Amino acid sequence: MLINISFHFDYYPLLIVVAIAWLTPVMLSLLKLKKIPVVIIEILLGFLAGKYLFGNLSEGSFLTLDFLALTGFIFLMFLGGLEIDMDQILASLPRRRLTASRFLKNPLLVGSAQFLFAIVLAYAASFLLGQIVHIPNIWYFSLIMVTTSVAIVLPVLKDRGEIGSRFGQMIIIAAAVADILSIILFTFTAFIVKNGFHLKLLYILALFILFFLLYNLMNRVKNVPVFKKLSYQLSQAASQIRVRGAILIIMIFVVISQYIGKEVVLLGAFLSGLALSTLLHRERSLMLVKLDGIGFGFFIPFFFVMVGVTFDPTALQEFDQSLIGFLTFMLISLFAIKVVPALLWRRLFGAKKAMAGGFLMSSRLSLIIAASAIGLDLGVITPGINASVIIMAVVTCFVSPVIYNWLSPAKLTEGHKIIIIGGSSTAVLLARRLHVHGKKTIIIEQNKQRCKEIKDKGINVKLGSGLDEHLFREFKLRPDDYVVIETGDDERNLQISKMLRKEFQHEKIISRITRFSLKQKYEQLGTETLDVTQILATAIENLIIRPTTYHALVESFENFSVEEIKITNKEIDGLQLKEVPFHKDAILMMIKRGDSFYIPHGETYFRVGDILHVFGTDTALEHTRQKVG
């Protein structure tokens, strides 16, 4: 039996959309406009394509584009769930009796309180907006107003090296809570609008039951030796079993959601991402690359381009003379809804920084557009309001990060930082890898052309010499700041190391050496050295002797790392290891006490001043620091 393949399908519209998807990031890069979200330009180019290139498309072609756009929307919600670190949220659950001080310091509780406050403000703003124009469903419109965008918040914080900071964690968890609660409320509201208070409403709970069943099942299955062996053997082969498994999870949630109601697909896709987020762990970074490639590389651009294609500016005519007033008040409301609740952070970070966080959380993107599209389909918002929402999404994505950076300017010299002397390719790679961990880095490069090249890559760089004492004073070099010397010249590296030890009495210095004969001179200075020849030999040895461990550490560096954590908590002093509940993703590898090292076991006693060598996720390491620090 032959498969009936027709070659009469019209690929022209797909060519246009794929061309837009490819052209947009290239154009932004060439014009050095990398701060502008790609999806905004995709919407604009989609509008132009719909107006000038898609005028004569057949109904079948539009049906295909709609299918791909819907798949892109599903992937977008899935990846939105995948972005949320559930371990981080669960680690924030209160474990001690609540006081006002502990409440304000707990990111999960404050984030939840901010969301509830924002809902009240959004409803009040929606009611007032309803006095200007006709809004069919005030409650649904208030849910649209209260959304935020983790996809905008995360890159801004990462670019500034604030992800690991206390303030950054507060914003991230607050944005994640807003995403989760918004999607749940959207789903129930949309279902009730369409079906009323029907018994089928309880079917939505089946998705949550499925979420917990899948989580428990996969946690058990992944530790079965046969499954682990198959997963390892098939993950890199043509079968790509882990990617196929991820797609299977998405389809299970989406199909069940469709049986309940098409308005539940939003929640189903999101929960599939959230479920996979809790299961990936060590494979997370590599899997994210592959899933991002499928989503943002192909399907998701169809969604945003089709948002532009279907955007109808003439729908705004329904507002007549009230258009400017409506859009202005709506924009002010979108900011106020996030900024006013953010003042709960005022006691911890000051009013200005708290307001800056509120403005950053005011950025809206995918969720607000998706919710608006669903509302238009349900008839709870008008075409004019839908068009207004798309315009507001574009405006807030541009304006919110700018206001955040203006109110809370990034101070390169403030806080903990790593200074890298020399702008070699190794230095650039190191800066990028440290950036993934949320570490602030500054490269010092004396070649003007090379300095410009590094700056164009979006990396903090300063033109100057590593021997310039004034430069380090300008950077406010602190005792806990690491200085990595990588100039490519052994003698120059040694001179810089001597200057730092003599003039600043600085101890945290790491220098690269290529000649073993210099090692003794560095040891006399108390400087850590990296012998390139020895490191290369060790890496090759690991690939031969312990390849699985080596690949696991190298490929999962984005999510797992080793950290030295000092015990300062007197409540831990004298307790045994078995008496201290560590995070499930933290492994205590070694204990340093004075000049001695110990391999820990259940009977090992902790002492104040011990240095723990812990391997784990960022969340697990933060949990450990809070427990023993």
Give the tens place of pLDDT for each residue, 120-130.
999 999 999 99
Predicted confidence at residue 283, as pLDDT, reads: 43
- H or E stretch including 306? helix 300-310
Sign of the dihedral through C-alpha 24, 25, 28, 31:
negative
531 pLDDT more than 80: no
pLDDT tens, position by position, 466-482 = 888 888 888 888 888 88
d(CA 354, CA 367): 24
**DSSP code at position 576:** B
3 state DSSP class of 590: strand
CA 164 to chain centre: 12
Query: Tell me: the pLDDT tens digits for 186-226?
Result: 888 888 888 777 777 788 887 888 888 877 776 676 666 66
559-628 folds as Alpha-Beta Plaits (3.30.70)
Mean pLDDT calculated for residue range 336-356: 91
CA 204/CA 623 separation, integer angstroms: 33
Residue predicted with more confidence, 596 or 127:
127
Q: What would the CATH number be for the domain defined by 418-539? A: 3.40.50.720
From 107, 103, 115, 113, select the one nearest 338 (Cα to Cα). Answer: 115
Rounded Cα distance between 271 and 84, Å, is 11
Mean pLDDT of 506-524: 80
Q: What is the mean pLDDT of the chain?
A: 81
- The residue-averaged pLDDT of 324-332 equals 91
**Residue 141: count of CB within 10 angstroms of its CB:** 25
Give the residue with greater pLDDT, 479 vs 559.
Answer: 479
Only one residue has tokens 């007032």, namely 128
**Coil, strand or helix at 223:** coil
Domain spans of the chain? 73-407, 418-539, 559-628
Over its C-alpha atoms, the chain yields an Rg (Å, rounded) of 27
The reported pLDDT for the residue numbered 235 is: 52
Between 47 and 36, name the one with better pLDDT. Answer: 47
What token pair was written down for 53? 């290139």
Residue 558 has pLDDT above 70, yes or no: no
Phi, psi of 507, deg, nearest 5: -110, -30
Half-sphere exposure of residue 354: CA atoms within 13 angstroms, side-chain side = 18
The CATH number assigned to the domain with range 73-407 reads: 1.20.1530.20
Q: Is the pLDDT of residue 285 over 70?
A: no
* Eight-state DSSP code of residue 571: T
Residue with the larger pLDDT of the pair 224 and 400: 400
Buried b (16+ CB within 10 A) or exposed e, 555-578: ebebbbbebebebebeebeeeeee
Q: Is 332 helix (H, G, I), strand (E, B) or coil?
A: helix
- pLDDT at 231 > cutoff 60: no
* DSSP string for 102-127: HHHH-HHHHHHHHHHHHHHHHHHHHH
Strands (E), 274-345: none
Spatial separation of the C-alpha atoms in residues 586 and 614, rounded to whole Å: 6
Alpha-carbon gap, residue 498 to 484, rounded angstroms: 13
Taking every pair of Cα atoms in the chain, the longest distance, rounded to a whole number of angstroms, is: 82
Q: State whether residue 191 is helix, strand or coil.
A: helix
Q: Distance between CA atoms of 287 and 229, rounded to whole angstroms?
A: 17
Distance CA(244)–CA(287), nearest Å, equals: 11
According to the 3-state scheme, what is the secondary structure of 491-520?
Answer: HHHHHHHHHHHHHCCCCCEEEEECCHHHHH
Report helix, strand or coil for 412.
coil
Q: At what angle do helices 38-52 and 300-310 cross, to 10 degrees?
A: 50
Instruction: Assess whether pLDDT exceeds 60 at residue 5.
Output: no
Which pair of structure tokens corresponds to residue 57?
Answer: 């498309």
pLDDT beyond 70 at 82:
yes
Separation of CA 484 from chain center: 27
Would you state the pLDDT for residue 280?
A: 64
- How large a percentage of the chain has pLDDT more than 90? 9
pLDDT at 284: 46
Contacts of 403 (CB under 8 A, 6+ apart): 356, 359, 360
Output the pLDDT for position 337. Answer: 94
Question: Does residue 462 register a pLDDT over 60?
Answer: yes
Sheet holding 461-463, edge to edge: 461-463, 441-445, 418-421, 482-485, 509-513, 528-531
pLDDT at 233 over 60: no
Instruction: Please say if the pLDDT value at position 441 is more than 90.
Output: no
- Gap between the Cα atoms of 79 and 179, Å rounded: 12
Taking residues 52-75, report their average pLDDT.
Answer: 84
Q: Note the pLDDT tens digit of each residue in 534-544.
A: 777 777 877 78
pLDDT at 552 over 50: yes
Mean pLDDT of the 278-292 span: 64
Rounded to whole angstroms, how far apart are CA atoms 464 and 379? 61
**Higher-pLDDT residue of 617, 232:** 617
Supply the DSSP symbol for 605. Answer: B
pLDDT at 282: 44
**pLDDT at residue number 557:** 52
175 burial type by CB count under 10 A (0-12 exposed, 13-18 middle, 19+ buried): buried
Q: Distance (Å, rounded) from C-alpha 600 to C-alpha 411?
A: 40
CA distances from 259 to 14, 158, 587 (A): 29, 39, 43
Mean pLDDT over residues 484-496, rounded?
A: 86
- Are 601 and 565 in contact by the 8 Å Cβ rule? The answer is no
| C-alpha–C-alpha distance, residues 106 and 79, integer Å | 26
Whether 100 shows a pLDDT value over 80: the answer reads no
Span 266-295, average pLDDT = 74
What three-state secondary structure class fits 582?
coil
Q: Report CA dihedral (367, 370, 374, 380) to the nearest 10 degrees.
A: 60
What's the rounded mean pLDDT across residues 396-405?
87
Q: What is the mean pLDDT of residues 20-48?
A: 83
Return phi, psi of residue 20, to 5°: -65, -45
Q: Residue 334 in contact with residue 362, Cβ under 8 Å?
A: yes
Residues in the chain: 629
Q: Beta 596-598 vs 586-593: how paired, if at all?
A: antiparallel
Taking only the tens place, the pLDDT of each residue in 127-181 is: 999 998 889 999 999 999 998 877 778 777 776 767 667 788 788 888 888 888 8
Q: Which tens digit of pLDDT belongs to each residue from 579-591?
A: 787 776 677 878 8
Portion of the chain with pLDDT greater than 70, in percent: 87
More confident residue, 1 or 78: 78
| More reliable by pLDDT, 12 or 280 | 12
Q: Which of 537, 542, 508, 538 is nearest to 525 (CA)?
A: 508
pLDDT of residue 226: 60
Location of structure tokens 């949220």 = 89
